[in-house]
Structure 1
Amino acid sequence: MAKVWKTKEVAAEFQVNQTTIQRWIKHFNIECQLNEVGHYVIDENSYNKLSYIHQEVKKGKRLKQIQLTKEEIVIEKKEKMVPASTLDERFHKMLLQIDQLDKKLQEKADEVVEVQMLQHRKEIDDVGTVLEKLDERINYLESVISEKENKIVSLEEKMNIRKNKKRRFAEIFSF
């Protein structure tokens, strides 16, 4: 059975919009089947034509400049074999890049932690300063209250002394 593609699949492979594929099909009158819901079903021949159009558009040609003749449509389906040494070299380079990225990430994380620690230290110092001021204020208020209490006590004592004097004086004149 021959391979068939949907418009969405071809568009994804060519990295273009689905409407671009539909426009190419209509512009070049490429024969395509329609499925039951009215979407294009693209066979291999039509796929090859669309691939050729895509290659020409990538070269910078406009649709009016592209001619679809059988001689011009060349299908490149060669599978490229990459030597194992090349793959090993690329893999090694990729591992080195990953290591470098990991080191940079660790450094950045360390910097972030350092900044956070400095910020926390500053906040702790600020809280300590506020606590010292509060302690000074409490001590001041306690001394003021203590002075006031002493004055009140001394006033009460004076009042008691006067009352006692009045009683004694009253006792002298009373029988």
Structure 2
Amino acid sequence: MMEMILKTKQVSEELGVNPSTIQRWVKFFNLPCQRNEHGHYLFNEKHIEELRKIKDQLSEGLAMTDVQIDIPKKEAVKTKEFTLNNEIEKRLDKLIMRIDNMERRLETKADEVVSAQLLQHRLEIDDLVKKINSLENTLLEMQEKQTFQMQDYHSDFMLEKPKPVKRSWFASLLQLFSMIKS
């Protein structure tokens, strides 16, 4: 009977953990897993059972350094490097959580600033609309006044009759002389 071989994603789905968690456990506990041509881990039933035991012990609150596994000592070698990597990963996780928190706070603050700016712009636009309406009303009043003045001017002009030009007796005399000479 052929032994069942699973990849990291399949094992993570079976155990209900993230694929990167499976990879971290393999490295930390130095599980003797094979890799395929792409470098992906390949797990057999024995490996899956060990990973399940690791998950159960961690769920009980044990630290990774206190977890007991059934792999022979020559296969599972815990070194200071793995413990150091675990500490680095913990610190990295904390940093990532802090960065995520800062990003959320920054987004909230940016939303507040944009909202305040939009409100200020809206108030300025409302003020400009009032000023434009006031100018429009003033312009209409001026146009009406001008129309009435033009109407008054035209009506006064039409009522006036042209006055005959009065000539002085001297101008008439000069005109008479100029006719005689020509």
State TM-score, norm by structure 1: 0.46
- Structure with greater contact order relative to length (CA < 8 Å, sep ≥ 6): 2
Which of structures 1 and 2 has the bigger CA Rg? 2
